[in-house]
């Protein structure tokens, strides 16, 4: 089995506390960050994991956990980090206060603008950012301020962006059209095949994960088939979105072959050939070799 790059993971998530403390990961939201990091470490240090995974992008969703993502990346030779503000975090969902866009975006930009510090922190992208109209109530205006602010930072720094688009396909597409010189990836893609084609034609990458393995996800697999191999990326979005046959369980990058086994035949290639292409795509977009050791 070839080794894969997981382009989207959250190894600081509190659900990983279940790996040390036991119990059902879905009830581990209240676990301490320390317990979660110890749990994730047992996974990330294991030889079985490292035989399947040759790269991971650990993606932050706010400034605080972006700092943790960077600390973890510093510990593992195969791990890079992305730092940014997720639309839900921007809005303070489900029960926090909304973030202040001016101070938050200024702090993010100050952090990523120095190329030396960026390299030392192994930061390869801005994200995740984007729009999420699923959770109610939605403050579209505030989400857009954060999204466009991060697109501006990406434009000024030349970093790629990792876009979260949930039930906001039209507005996400419109926003990226406003920034023709910014590139990146639509992660855990859930839009139409037609939009995926349009995005890839414009140089965007499209990442697929566990949802592509769900029996009823015919639209997702149509989108997989519509994206040229040269624009395709694989991801887990772990600890969420575990692929079949692990659906509902704690997800991790080592399960990525289960995703590859569904995606490879949709493009008429072997899993080995798919691994080679998507790993090369990840390198092209994120320049991982400059930060991985």
**Shortest reach from residue 92's CB to Zn ion, in Å:** 18
Between CA 111 and CA 222 the distance in angstroms is 39
Cβ proximity to Zn ion, 33 vs 267, nearer residue: 33
Cβ proximity to Zn ion, 121 vs 237, nearer residue: 237
Residue 123 near residue 83 (C-beta atoms within 8 A): yes
Q: With CB under 5 A as the rule, give the number of residues binding Zn ion.
A: 1
**Shortest reach from residue 59's CB to Zn ion, in Å:** 6
State the helix-helix crossing angle for 101-112 and 140-157, rounded to 10 degrees.
20
Cβ proximity to Zn ion, 18 vs 188, nearer residue: 188
**Shortest reach from residue 8's CB to Zn ion, in Å:** 6
**Shortest reach from residue 222's CB to Zn ion, in Å:** 22
Residue 125 near residue 162 (C-beta atoms within 8 A): yes
State the helix-helix crossing angle for 33-44 and 63-75, rounded to 10 degrees.
30
Between CA 150 and CA 148 the distance in angstroms is 5
CB-closest chain residue to Zn ion: 237
Centre a 10 Å sphere on the Cβ of residue 182 and count the other Cβ atoms it contains.
23
- Tokens 């400059």, located at residue: 290
**Shortest reach from residue 10's CB to Zn ion, in Å:** 6
**Shortest reach from residue 291's CB to Zn ion, in Å:** 20
Cβ proximity to Zn ion, 11 vs 264, nearer residue: 11
Cβ proximity to Zn ion, 81 vs 264, nearer residue: 81
Cβ proximity to Zn ion, 111 vs 186, nearer residue: 186
* Binding residues among 224-253 for Zn ion as defined by CB under 5 A: 237
- Terminal C-alpha separation, the chain: 22
- Angle (CA) 130 136 138, round 5°: 45
* Binding residues among 200-219 for Zn ion as defined by CB under 5 A: none
User: What residues have CB less than 8 Å from 174, skipping those under 6 apart?
Assistant: none
Task: Kindly provide the residue ranges of all beta strands, DSSP E only, lying in the chain, ordered along the sequence.
Answer: 4-9, 53-59, 79-83, 123-132, 161-166, 184-187, 205-208, 232-234
DSSP state of 266: H
Cβ proximity to Zn ion, 165 vs 237, nearer residue: 237
- Under DSSP, is residue 5 helix (H, G, I), strand (E, B) or coil? strand
* Binding residues among 41-80 for Zn ion as defined by CB under 5 A: none
**Shortest reach from residue 288's CB to Zn ion, in Å:** 18
Residues in the site for Zn ion, rule: CB under 5 A? 237
């Amino acid at each position: 089995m070839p080794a894969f790059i997981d382009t989207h993971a959250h190894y600081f998530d509190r659900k990983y506390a279940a790996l040390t403390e036991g119990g059902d990961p879905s009830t581990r939201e209240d676990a301490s960050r320390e317990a979660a990091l110890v749990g994730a470490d047992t996974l990330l240090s294991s030889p079985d994991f490292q035989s399947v995974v040759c790269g991971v992008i650990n993606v932050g969703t706010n400034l605080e956990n972006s700092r943790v993502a960077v600390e973890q990346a510093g510990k593992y030779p195969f791990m890079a980090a992305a730092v940014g503000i997720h639309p839900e975090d921007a809005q303070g969902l489900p029960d926090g206060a909304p973030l202040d866009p001016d101070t938050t975006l200024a702090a993010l930009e100050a952090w990523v603008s120095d190329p030396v510090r960026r390299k030392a922190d192994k930061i390869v992208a801005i994200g995740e950012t984007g729009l999420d109209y699923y959770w109610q109530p939605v403050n579209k205006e505030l989400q857009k301020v954060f999204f466009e602010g991060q697109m501006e930072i990406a434009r000024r720094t030349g970093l790629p962006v990792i876009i979260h688009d949930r039930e906001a396909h039209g507005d996400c597409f419109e926003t990226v059209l406003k920034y023709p010189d910014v590139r990146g990836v639509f992660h855990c893609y859930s839009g139409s095949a037609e939009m995926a084609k349009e995005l890839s034609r414009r140089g965007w990458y499209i990442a697929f994960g566990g949802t592509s393995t769900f029996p009823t996800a015919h639209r997702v697999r149509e989108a997989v088939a519509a994206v040229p191999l040269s624009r395709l990326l694989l991801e887990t979005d772990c600890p969420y979105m575990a692929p079949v046959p692990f659906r509902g369980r704690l997800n991790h990058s080592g399960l990525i072959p289960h995703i590859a086994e569904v995606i490879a035949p949709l493009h008429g290639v072997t899993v080995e050939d798919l691994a080679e292409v998507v790993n090369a795509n990840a390198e092209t977009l994120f320049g991982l070799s400059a930060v991985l050791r």
